[in-house]
A and B are shown apart, each in its own frame.
Chain A
Amino acid sequence: MERKACYFLLPMASTDKETEIELARDLLAGNMGAFDRFVEAFHSRLFQYTMLVCGQREDAEEVAQDTLLKVFENFGRLREPEHVRAWVFRIARNACLMKRRKSTFAPTQELSLDELMPVAGDRGGERKFELPDRAELPDTKLLRSELKDVMTEAIHSLPDLYKTVLLLRDVEELSTEETAGILDVSSDVVKTRLHRARLAVRQKLDGYIRAGAN
């Protein structure tokens, strides 16, 4: 039998982390010419994160700006510019927690692996995946627009424990170890939460995933 070695493995993420690292090194070296680009590089990224965590635009903008302020207040303590993104998002995470403590405290909620398994269908007991026919789906442009809304809702509706891991690992493309460091949990906990978060999002995106994959 021919091996399909690593056929399904995810590709390495292509990111602009290198640019961020260079900008951080420049600032640490006192080159203030990198300041505007550093702010540009992180402001939108931080806003995306805080928007999905906080849910309200006003809160998200406030927390993103607070995070930038704390980043620059503590910039002299940045020891490893190669991990600048993880360092910035640790500060963002803490800023979100502070904001959350000041507002309604949402209870933590666990996602069960069993509930995320695909359901058994009726084709003689064979599993089937409940995906609509592509012909029933809207055109590509509308699909993309709707997909963004569905994605936003799918991610935002995740319990906070899972949402944060998904955002840091998949959206911000931080490593398992970096994410574990930010959240002060073990790497195994990060892996478990990430898997359940991805499964929960997949469950909510069924039809859109099928259309995009064809």
Chain B
Amino acid sequence: MTLSPSSFAAIAALTRRETAMLYEPGKEYLVEARLLPLARAAGCEDVDAYVALVLRDRVHQQAAMDALTINETSWFRDNAPYQAFTEVMLPAMLQARAHTRQLTIWSAACSSGQEAYSLAMLLDQHLPAGWSARIVATDISTSMLERVRTGRYSMVEMNRGLPATLLVKHFTRVGSEWEISADLRSMVETRHLNLAGPFPALPTFDIVFLRNVLIYFDLDTKRDILRRVRSVTSPDGYLLLGSTETTLDMETHWIREPAGRVQLHRPIAGPTSASATAVARAPQTALTGA
């Protein structure tokens, strides 16, 4: 079974229009692997026939977009960002927010939620008594958000980087899956959000995880996303990108601050679309590292 060049071009264009994600030529195999199960389920003879269906049917289109925007993910992915969270970002925020005792964290492009729940597990372990934390998990895929709310994971997903001690502590078996505890689920709130489009009303975030998703966008879109992320990030807050992603060509909005094996990004004070109060509160610390 092979995907025809015209089907690939059509589905790549649709994915780009709907989600701004790029499927470059050479990724035909990936499109095919992700759509084949859906094609079978829809009773299509092959993926070409399924693409034709997707192009004319809104419901199938949503399912196809969901399948094509999935990121493979693991718990505590790459470890180092979570180490930086526990050792650098969290201690700094515990000082900075001592008066409110409230942290707000954004897991952007959260996919099936492993990042949001990894952070929730660390907060469960490290957040002092009397503090509360809110993790906002957003994704373009509504079916992924539903998965995050359910908090259930397959055996194969559970194996991916989750320490056995945390599995034992936070998960129970439900049928063939594992379910994360209600305590941790109550810490995570899901919101539908397309990074490439205008953001809905969002809180101001102390820490933003925006990892391994910018790679899918072209440069202008990347720049625009980072500008808008800055507008919802607290002036003394942190942004963390994927290990291969950089703000090198966006010097005007963020400064980089090394923390162990990762680069943290901090907003630079200055005129953006951020609310006036956020700019006014910009502390010196955002500038001293420059």
Does B associate with A? Answer: no
| Chain A interface (Cβ < 8 Å from any Cβ of B) | none
Interface residues of B (CB under 8 A from A): none
